[in-house]
Amino acid sequence: MNNPGPTLSDFGHDPLWISIIKAVAIFVFLMLGVLFGVWTERKLISRMQHRYGPNRAGKFGLLQSVADGLKMGLKEDLMPRTVDKVIYFLAPVVIAVPAFLAFSVIPFGPMVWMFGHKTPLQLTDLPVAVLLVLATASIGVYGIVLAGWGSRSPYAILGGLRSSAQVVSYEIAMGLSFVAVFLKAGTLSTSEIVAKQAGGGTWDIFGLHIPTPSWYVFSLIPSFLIYAVTMLGETNRVPFDLPEGEGELVGGFHTEYSSSLKFAMFMLAEYVNVFTVSAVAITLFLGGWRAPWPISLWDGANTGWWPMLWFFAKLVLAFAFFVWVRASLPRVRYDQLMAFGWKVLIPLNLGWILLAATLQALRLPEANRNGILAFGAVVVIAGLGIWLRFDTVNQRRREARAAEVEEEFEQLREEPAAGGFPVPPLDLPHYHGVVPSARAPKEEVTSGSN
């Protein structure tokens, strides 16, 4: 049974105490999610690397995250003398509060009965709810910038500048990946976008009535893939964790924050942001709280409190994707990060949006439109694969050419000097803009030369 779920007209009628219960429940869910998320990430990465991970505090190390939180809360809060105290204290709050606010428009389930009142399993909804998520994500980056600026440290300032440039690049691509969803759903409300993915026709195969894929991940696969990349850049996670850059910037924007409560707020905001972008992906592309097939064949799968279980299972899988990427991929260079955002993701997104908008304007039948969108998705993904292939080949050629140039300069350094003085060779090669790593050392003047 396809439960359409709540609409915008179902919000705004709850008593104040029910809204408070929902807000507290979301806050507790996110706090517990951070505790278990840290433990899960450490355990998964440990098993991938043939280690045990946390196994001392509590059964299976489950209390390790609690112990770490208590440690950071009770440690002495050291503050450098040169920091801007107001900005230094304000930065962790600015980055943590918007991370919680974005979850207020995420739908967890349909209409349910709660203490005698029928209410949606969602705190609130707006006609422009997805824009609220983008706005809160944009505000969060100010916390990183203020943390770097208020620390008055060169490493922290560089981390803040990297973060601002990274967000400008990847938030544009993230916002563009939502446009195709808005065109297809005809709304920016999160609850109504989930309702649009309720399903349509069925396929009759050997007497079985199999529902057609209605989630937008199937018909808008390029938008989903681009969003999957941008949410890594938005949350500063590997391979796009350039604002931290432990190997380059010591700790990045939070270098001057000791392992105290303020440092814990930065870590809290990072994991809450991971849950937020994962929940947005589930809402816009993965059917929201709706059960996957074949569970959806059960009539009661999308009614009552069961949808919260499906939403939680999808959230766990999305978080596991973050952990898998962190354990598998190395950190990219900063120029690769920016080039990929501006030269690849944004142009591909614009082309895909143009195709989706054209098909929407032509008002073709739904089956024909989905077929053309599927063909266009294959073309876009193939184009991305070809670009990545040629970019890899060109990068190897550039590295080989740089190695050849370095070898030629090494040979020039080894040539003897005429009369004790270094002289240039008769035929200098053209290096096409390649600069050697170091200049040839000066030769000492031999005795007896004039």
Q: What is the pLDDT of residues 318-327, one digit of tens each?
A: 999 999 998 8
Does residue 108 form part of some domain? yes
Does residue 373 form part of some domain? no
Does residue 157 form part of some domain? yes
Separation CA 272–CA 141 (nearest Å): 14
Does residue 209 form part of some domain? yes
Separation CA 3–CA 195 (nearest Å): 8
Please give the tally of structural domains in the chain.
1
Please tell me the predicted confidence (pLDDT) of residue 56.
87
Does residue 440 form part of some domain? no
Q: How far is CA 340 from CA 254, 291, 385, in A?
A: 26, 35, 13
Does residue 342 form part of some domain? no
Does residue 377 form part of some domain? no
Separation CA 381–CA 226 (nearest Å): 10
- Beta 111-114 vs 117-120: how paired, if at all? antiparallel
**Angle, to 10 degrees, between the axis of helix 306-328 and the axis of helix 261-285?**
120
Separation CA 149–CA 86 (nearest Å): 11
Does residue 36 form part of some domain? yes
Separation CA 421–CA 433 (nearest Å): 27
Separation CA 9–CA 440 (nearest Å): 76
The mean pLDDT value for 138-146 works out to 85
The mean pLDDT value for 30-44 works out to 92
Which range of residues forms the domain containing residue 172?
A: 8-333
Highest mean pLDDT: which range of 30-39, 233-242, 393-402: 30-39
Q: What does the CA dihedral 281, 284, 286, 288 come to, rounded to 10 degrees? A: 100
The mean pLDDT value for 170-194 works out to 91
CA angle 223, 160, 261 (to 5 degrees): 100
The mean pLDDT value for 255-265 works out to 80
